[in-house]
């Protein structure tokens, strides 16, 4: 007796079909870390919904401060309370999911005072979260896959930070990533200096809390022109992602229904530069089920 699917030709067809489907599809990226009710990191990765998870945030750094992560109610970094998150990070990576350290966020507890300050912060991040060594690694010996720039205040010296991180990356055999989450207005963007270095892999543009470039099915012109400007003006080694709120409650403005996303937004952005959809954040996604509704279509 022979199982039908074990026929070599069937297998070959199945494998090539699945490879084909994969190469064609976009990825889902999600932010995790700002609400304990979103559940453990391991569980988020186990859903199989996401290809990249950004841990949010390293929210204090630079200008003489002692850098510190803030993971809301998940754990307290004081007296090594977040070390066990290292297990979750490794569980995710074992599934092929990239886990990034997102720096910045909505607080005003970070700034870079000079290029030297930026380079010191880069050294700190490398030693404490990536391939370097330190006695005080907040996530223990887990090695994150790179750094995500979610910079919402202060714009100076982020290029210097990117250059120094890139120097560290270059000395390692493991591939580390630089990603960024700029707001959708292209003009006067806080991350402009960093992004014009050309050192970044993926760029997830936040199409929310900025009405002039958010997507609306009735008039997508603002969205379209912002997307075109980002994707033609910035040289990224990787892909561009559409950053969206995972529910109405996740951002003041900018929510796009799954129906509108699939039928109206995605046809606009599909191109070799398109990488998928980034969601803020896992907590709101868990409430709305948004990622589950869109994942087969991104």
Ligand X SMILES: *[C@@H]1O[C@H](CO)[C@@H](O)[C@H](O)[C@H]1NC(C)=O
Decide whether 191 or 256 has the Cβ nearer to ligand X.
191
Determine if 113 is a binding residue for ligand X (CB under 6 A).
yes
Residue 111 beta carbon to ligand X: minimum distance, rounded to whole angstroms: 3
Rounded to whole angstroms, the Cα distance separating 207 from 226 reads: 9
Q: Report residue 113 CA to chain centroid gap.
A: 25
In sign, the C-alpha dihedral spanning 92, 97, 100, 102 is negative
- Asked if 297 interacts with ligand X (CB under 6 A), we say no
CB of 162 to ligand X, least distance (A): 18
Q: Least CB distance from residue 182 to ligand X, whole Å?
A: 20
Of the candidates 161, 39, 143, which has an alpha carbon nearest to the alpha carbon of residue 99?
143
Binding string to ligand X for residues 14 to 53, with x set by CB under 6 A, is what? Answer: ----------------------------------------
Alpha helices in the chain (DSSP H): 8-24, 41-46, 85-94, 115-129, 158-170, 192-195, 221-233, 258-260, 266-269, 282-288, 290-294
Q: How far is the CB of 82 from ligand X (least distance, A)?
A: 26
Q: What 3-state class would DSSP assign to 243? A: strand
Total residues interacting with ligand X, rule: CB under 6 A: 3
Q: With respect to ligand X, which residue has the nearer C-beta, 113 or 235?
A: 113
Minimum Å gap between C-beta 65 and ligand X is 8
Q: How far apart are CA 11 and CA 272, in angstroms?
A: 29
Supply the minimum distance, in Å, between the C-beta of residue 117 and ligand X.
Answer: 8
- State which residue, 54 or 59, has the beta carbon closest to ligand X: 59
Question: Exactly one of 38, 152, 155, 214 is catalytic; which is it?
Answer: 152
Q: Does 111 bind ligand X (CB under 6 A)?
A: yes
SS3 24: helix
The answer to whether residues 166 and 87 touch, using CB atoms and an 8 Å cutoff, is: no
Pick between residue 109 and residue 229 the one whose CB is nearest to ligand X: 109
Q: How far apart are CA 278 and CA 270, in angstroms?
A: 15
d(CA 232, CA 74): 39
With respect to ligand X, which residue has the nearer C-beta, 113 or 233?
A: 113
* Residue number, 156 or 268, with CB nearest to ligand X: 156
* From candidates 63, 197, 229, 258, binder to ligand X by CB under 6 A: 63
- Residue 287 interacts with ligand X (CB under 6 A): yes or no: no
Using CB under 6 A as the binding rule, whether residue 153 contacts ligand X is answered as no
Counting beta carbons within 10 angstroms of the beta carbon of residue 264, is it exposed (0 to 12), middle (13 to 18) or buried (19 or more)?
Answer: middle
Active site residue 214: no
* Residue at shortest CB range from ligand X: 111
* CB atoms near residue 253 (< 10 Å): 13
Q: Report the alpha-carbon distance of residue 122 to residue 62 in Å, rounded.
A: 10
Binding to ligand X, residues 228-267 (CB under 6 A): none
Residues involved in catalysis: 152
Q: Which positions lie near ligand X, rule CB under 6 A?
A: 63, 111, 113
């Amino acid at each position: 007796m022979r199982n039908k699917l074990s026929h070599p030709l069937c297998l070959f067809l199945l494998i090539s079909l699945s490879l084909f489907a994969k190469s064609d599809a976009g990825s889902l990226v999600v932010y995790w870390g700002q609400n304990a009710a979103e559940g453990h990191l391991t569980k988020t990765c186990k859903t199989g919904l996401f290809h990249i998870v950004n841990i949010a945030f390293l929210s204090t750094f630079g200008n003489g401060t002692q850098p510190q992560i803030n993971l809301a109610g998940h754990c307290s970094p004081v007296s090594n309370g977040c070390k066990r998150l290292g297990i979750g990070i490794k569980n995710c990576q074992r599934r092929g999911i990239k886990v990034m350290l997102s720096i910045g966020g909505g607080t005003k507890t970070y700034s870079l005072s000079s290029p030297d300050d930026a380079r010191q912060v880069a050294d700190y991040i490398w030693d404490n979260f990536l391939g370097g060594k330190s006695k005080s690694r907040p996530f223990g010996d887990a090695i994150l896959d790179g750094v995500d720039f979610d910079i919402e205040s202060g714009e100076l010296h982020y290029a210097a930070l990117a250059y120094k991180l890139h120097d560290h990356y270059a000395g390692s055999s493991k591939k580390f990533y630089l990603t960024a989450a700029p707001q959708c207005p292209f003009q006067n963007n806080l991350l402009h200096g960093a992004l014009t270095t050309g050192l970044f892999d993926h760029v997830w543009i936040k199409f929310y809390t900025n009405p002039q470039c958010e997507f609306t099915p009735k008039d997508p012109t603002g969205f379209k022109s912002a997307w075109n400007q980002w994707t033609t003006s910035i040289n990224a080694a990787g892909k561009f992602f559409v950053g969206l709120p995972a529910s109405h409650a996740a951002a003041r403005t900018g929510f796009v229904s799954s129906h509108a996303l699939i039928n109206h937004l995605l046809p606009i952005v599909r191109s070799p530069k398109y990488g998928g959809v980034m969601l803020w954040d896992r907590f709101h996604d868990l409430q709305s089920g948004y990622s589950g509704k869109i994942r087969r279509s991104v």
